Amino acid sequence: MKNDRQLVEERVYAFIEDYYDWARDCRYGSDATSFPSPCGLDVDGLQAMAEDLQHEFENGGRSRQKAALAEIARQHCVTPGLLTDSGWHISWPPDHDPEVESINHLSIQDDRAEVTTSCEPGSGMAAGFEYILALTRQGWRIERIRQFHSREDDGPPEESNPDLLKQETTDELSTLDDCGFDFSPAFTAGTPVTVMDRPAKITVEKAGRLAVPSGRLLVWDSGFLTGDARPLSLKIPPGNHEILLSQAGNHNGCAMLAWGRRDRVTAYVPVQLVGRTEDYHVSVDTGTACIADAKAVLSLNDREREKLHHRIVEATFANDQSRDHVLIGVREKGAPELVNIHAGMGDGGYACYAGIDDEGAPQCLVIDFSIYGKNVEHERIIPWRDKGREIEINDPILIEHGFSISIRPDLDKWEVVEATGQQLDAQLLGPKHEVLSDTGLLGSDQVGRESIHYLKRPDAFIDGYLRFFWTTWASDLEKDWSF
């Protein structure tokens, strides 16, 4: 009779084999027809194959492929929807391949088993997987699968390691660096704001307390902790600090970590990363930002950081519910040293500010998700004459909005060059303001910081106008500087 270890191994390897067969059939065959390897097809053959696959897709092929994947889950997994409920896809190389994926660790504790696999370097696949299995009435079944892109022995990234915590810090800031926003109303219940062009009122949620034993903070996109994660240069008192969420219109608009006297805050100033001078914005692709004890995260190697991200995602969507924030331990059984907060919309960059008192002492940290406010459309029309050479646009309104624009002639078109990288559109107008050309029709390029748009250069054009369009964000939290 086979022991549990052998049964667990058999289950994992059988799953890998069946998954590979499914992915291969999706790529090279269908219910309607089957195809040889693309390497043996000429261009016409590849075109015919693509057309047949498209026909198959349009006639229910994707539904059949999903059903076949669900059948694999019914054979090998605890829940039939494990592989298909979210994020299922067909890829090549496939996610699993018995030729390159092998078990390198297996442990069993009562009715639970943990298996880790590794994939051969250069195979084009992930570095490995972690399988959690449960012993059911039907035998050992896969309960959870985690994918990893780093190897188990990978150390912390070169640009993100505990040595960063030894760099210079600050615990004194200046009110002269006031950002121009007042976040106190954002953390006052009932404050009226605009969210997605609709009026709303703020509610404030107490989201628990964050353990920061090192007195150092990491504010980052939790989906990219294996990158060059760097702590803030701000130093705060070690301890367990209150987390507050400012919410309106079913969205988190701002997040605050408070360790001092919020009622003493008189200014909010930008913060920086250690070793950097520019004001810090959390650059995100997942619509979320986390605040964590920097030492706890930076002491992890890449594989451990990936595991942490998996735990964040699993906690966020536990029991088929989506949570707007989760508070977890960086180590699985440790104190809650990380809070992950979802903005509810959008990617991009979230500005970070320290709330300081009159003496420059930080009392709290605020992340602004840029949700309270609205977009404002701007337009500027200026006279334009084609002089056959590069001309700088010295319009005071455009300069006031931070633009640095020049027009360069290039055969049958003009290059509209914005040197600071800001986005704007332009139109060429005739003497009667009729539209002769539009940058939206000829595309754009990014060269270094320069944003380059193109306008068609009409024959025999001499005099007319240039119309510029751009959008700015008007925050509801901007201070009123009028007296």
Q: Spell out the domain ranges in the chain.
A: 4-148, 162-371, 375-475
Cα separations in angstroms, 367 against 175, 193, 373, 377, 402: 18, 17, 15, 25, 24
- Lowest-confidence range among 8-17, 22-31, 217-226, 293-302? 22-31
pLDDT recorded at residue 437:
93
The DSSP-derived string for 226-286 is TS----BSBB--SEEEEEEEEEETTEEEEEEEE-S-GGG--EEEE--BTT--SPPEEEESS
Phi, psi for residue 239 in degrees, rounded to 5? 150, -170
Name the token pair of 43.
């261009």
Question: Does 13 score more than 90 pLDDT?
Answer: yes
- Lowest-confidence range among 56-60, 185-189, 243-247, 477-481? 56-60
Question: Does 345 score more than 70 pLDDT?
Answer: no
Any idea what the Cα angle at residue 352 is, between residues 166 and 227, rounded to 5°? 55
- The pTM is what? 0.80
Name the token pair of 418.
């914005």
Question: Does 44 score more than 60 pLDDT?
Answer: no
pLDDT recorded at residue 446:
87
Question: How many CB atoms are located within 10 Å of the residue 271 CB?
Answer: 22
Q: Write 223-227 long-range contacts (CB < 8 A, 24+).
A: 223/284, 223/285, 223/286, 223/288, 223/309, 224/285, 225/297, 225/300, 225/305, 225/306, 225/308, 225/309, 226/149, 226/150, 226/157, 226/302, 226/305, 226/306, 227/157, 227/159, 227/160
Question: Does 62 score more than 60 pLDDT?
Answer: yes
Percentage, residues of the chain above pLDDT 90: 59
pLDDT recorded at residue 319:
64
Question: Does 420 score more than 70 pLDDT?
Answer: yes
Phi, psi for residue 11 in degrees, rounded to 5? -65, -45
pLDDT recorded at residue 397:
94
Question: Does 29 score more than 80 pLDDT?
Answer: no
Cα separations in angstroms, 57 against 4, 62, 63, 74, 230: 41, 5, 8, 24, 45
Mean pLDDT for the chain overall: 86
pLDDT recorded at residue 324:
85
The predicted model gives 29-36 an average pLDDT of 35
Question: Does 235 score more than 50 pLDDT?
Answer: yes
For tokens 């086979």, the residue is 2
- Rounded-to-integer distance, Cα 161 and Cα 228, Å: 9
Question: Does 58 score more than 60 pLDDT?
Answer: no
The predicted model gives 328-333 an average pLDDT of 87
Question: Does 47 score more than 80 pLDDT?
Answer: no
Q: Write 126-131 long-range contacts (CB < 8 A, 24+).
A: 126/95, 127/151, 128/101, 128/104, 128/152, 129/96, 129/101, 130/307, 131/12, 131/15
The predicted model gives 27-35 an average pLDDT of 44
- Predicted confidence (pLDDT) per residue in 426-458, tens digit: 999 999 999 999 998 888 888 888 899 999 988
The residue count of the chain comes to 483
pLDDT recorded at residue 40:
33
Name the token pair of 414.
């003009």
The predicted model gives 312-331 an average pLDDT of 83
pLDDT recorded at residue 33:
31
Q: Pick the residue with more confidence: 118 or 28?
A: 118
Cα separations in angstroms, 230 against 167, 173, 254, 274: 11, 20, 21, 7
Q: Pick the residue with more confidence: 30 or 276?
A: 276
pLDDT recorded at residue 155:
63
**What sign results for the dihedral spanned by CA atoms 421, 422, 423, 424?**
negative
Question: Does 34 score more than 80 pLDDT?
Answer: no
Contact 241, 214 (CB under 8 A): no
The predicted model gives 189-199 an average pLDDT of 93
- Predicted confidence (pLDDT) per residue in 83-106, tens digit: 988 667 777 778 899 999 999 999
Contact 301, 154 (CB under 8 A): yes
- Predicted confidence (pLDDT) per residue in 237-246, tens digit: 999 999 999 9
Contact 244, 206 (CB under 8 A): yes
Q: Is 18 helix (H, G, I), strand (E, B) or coil?
A: helix
Question: How many CB atoms are located within 10 Å of the residue 218 CB?
Answer: 27
Question: Does 39 score more than 50 pLDDT?
Answer: no
pLDDT recorded at residue 85:
80
Percentage, residues of the chain above pLDDT 70: 88
pLDDT recorded at residue 326:
92
The predicted model gives 322-327 an average pLDDT of 85
Q: Write 20-29 long-range contacts (CB < 8 A, 24+).
A: 20/94, 20/96, 20/97, 20/98, 22/65, 22/68, 22/69, 22/72, 23/90, 23/91, 23/92, 23/94, 23/95, 23/96, 24/94, 25/68, 26/65, 26/90, 27/90, 27/92
Q: Pick the residue with more confidence: 63 or 292?
A: 292
- Lowest-confidence range among 67-71, 77-81, 153-157, 210-214? 153-157
pLDDT recorded at residue 443:
82
